[in-house]
Amino acid sequence: MSRLIILIEGIHSLCDEVRVRSFSRWLGRGESEDLFLPNFVMQLTQQIRRISKPITHNVNKSHSSYPIPGLDALVARQRQAAPASPLQLTGRYLHLIYALISTLIAAPHLKTVVVIDLEDRFDATRLTVGSGPNDDADHDKHDIETDTDDPLRHVHVYRPARSSIEHLRDVIAAAEHRMLYGRHDSRTREWWGTIVIGAPLAATTGSSSAAGRPSSSVQVTASWRGWMRVDRDEVRGFPLGAGVGEVLADRERRQAAVDEAPWTASCAWGSIAFQEKGVAAAKDEPPLHR
């Protein structure tokens, strides 16, 4: 496309010099038509440029919102201290990522999300559609649906091999280019942004970007370094002096309490509690040791 534009612009410049007087006389319309061909070429160039622009109606140009109760406020506080900072998670971050994506791709938000998984641990079967992270509705009625517009089609997962920081940045850029220019099933939805699992914010920051800022498409990083930590909400332990028999008799009930306990995401600005829905929600996802 760029070569065609250069060719058309070259023809345009040539027409400006020659003024195509012979073409005007051939039309028999006098000198008033001297600029007919250059104007036509100029209009053609504008049309080609317009075609070559990305379709931006499905791109979120502002800071993306995080539709889990209380999370937006904490991110806003962090951005006051560090402008343009995305959500940076540490700890057992996969649980919050599953809850966040499940909410984003379902009604009423209906977004599309890119996930770059360097740890090869992201499991799409953990996503549930139709209920928010704090919705008490029966999960069986809100599991992943298989209708004509399966929300899971709008989660685009990349699993690049671990190599260099430059390679990761290339993958982020390629994913962004595909969402803007490529042919995919999510062009009718707004692109919420990119989630990078397994790399800190510094690894997503291109050296050529202004002031070392991260790619504007990266809305979440999840790694051993982050300003928000995700952990299981604490469950009260056995009372002091409890006997072995009492502990064994109460073991199943207490295990159920642990499995049903909400998750907590905490930072310097406060904390929120959320529930991960689904039959696999109780499965813990411990952080990788570094």
What pLDDT digit, counting tens, does each position of 109-122 carry?
Answer: 999 999 999 999 99
- Let me know whether 30 and 84 are in one domain: no
Distance CA 234, CA 266 (A): 13
Same domain, yes or no: 198 and 82: yes
Pair (16, 114) in one structural domain: no
- For residue 23, the model assigns a pLDDT of 43
The answer to the question of residue 64 being in a domain is: no
Would you say residue 251 lies in a domain?
no
Task: Tell which of 214, 229, 244 closes a domain.
Answer: 229
In this structure, are 154 and 82 located in the same domain?
yes
Same domain, 79 and 203: yes
What pLDDT is stored for residue 281 in this prediction? 53
Q: What is the pLDDT of residues 36-45, one digit of tens each?
A: 556 655 666 6
- Whether 99 and 30 map to the same domain: the answer is no
The band of 271, judged by pLDDT with boundaries at 50, 70 and 90, is very high
Let me know if residue 61 belongs to a domain. Answer: no
Q: Give residue 31's pLDDT.
A: 46
Average pLDDT for residues 221-227, to the nearest whole number? 96
Contact 90, 226 (CB under 8 A): yes
- Residues 137-146 as b/e (b if ≥16 CB within 10 A, e otherwise) read eeeeebbbee
Q: Do 47 and 77 have their domain in common?
A: no
Within-domain flag for 258: no
Domains in the chain: how many in total? Answer: 2
- As a whole number, mean pLDDT of residues 155-166 equals 92
Asked whether the beta carbons of 124 and 152 are under 8 A apart, the reply is yes
Same domain, 88 and 42: no
**Average pLDDT estimate for 212-227:** 84
Mean of pLDDT over the chain: 75
Q: Which two tokens stand for residue 172?
A: 């982020």
The verdict on 77 and 220 lying in the same domain is yes
The first and second tokens of residue 208, run together, are 């050529």
119-146 pLDDT per residue, tens: 999 999 999 986 455 444 444 434 444 4
Same domain, 20 and 115: no
Same-domain check for residues 213 and 82: yes
- Domain span at 94: 71-229
Which two structure tokens, joined as six digits, stand for 1? Answer: 């496309």
The label of the residue with tokens 């007919």 reads: 36
Q: Is residue 254 assigned to a domain? A: no
Contacts (Cβ under 8 Å, ≥6 apart) of 186: 58, 112, 153, 154, 156, 179
Average pLDDT over residues 55-79: 78
CA dihedral 99, 102, 107, 112 (to 10 degrees): 120
The answer on pLDDT for 196 being more than 80 is yes
250 lies in some domain: no
- What pLDDT sits at residue 44? 60
Is 118 within the bounds of a domain?
Answer: yes
Q: What is the pLDDT of residue 53?
A: 47
Task: Find all residues with CB under 8 Å of 1, minimum gap 6, and list them.
Answer: 48, 51, 52
The rounded distance, in Å, linking the Cα atoms of 54 and 186 is 14
Which pTM does this prediction carry?
Answer: 0.67
pLDDT score of 154 more than 60: yes
- Residue 41: the pLDDT is 58
Claim to verify: residue 189 and residue 221 sit in the same structural domain: yes
Rounded percentage of the chain residues whose pLDDT exceeds 70: 54
Domain boundary among 229, 263, 280: 229
Residue ending a domain, among 182, 214, 229, is 229
User: Does position 262 have pLDDT exceeding 70, yes or no?
Assistant: yes
Kindly tell me if the per-residue pLDDT of 247 is higher than 50. Answer: yes
Give the pLDDT mean for 172-188.
Answer: 93
Q: Does residue 266 belong to any structural domain of this protein?
A: no
Give the number of other Cβ atoms within 10 Å of residue 257's Cβ.
12
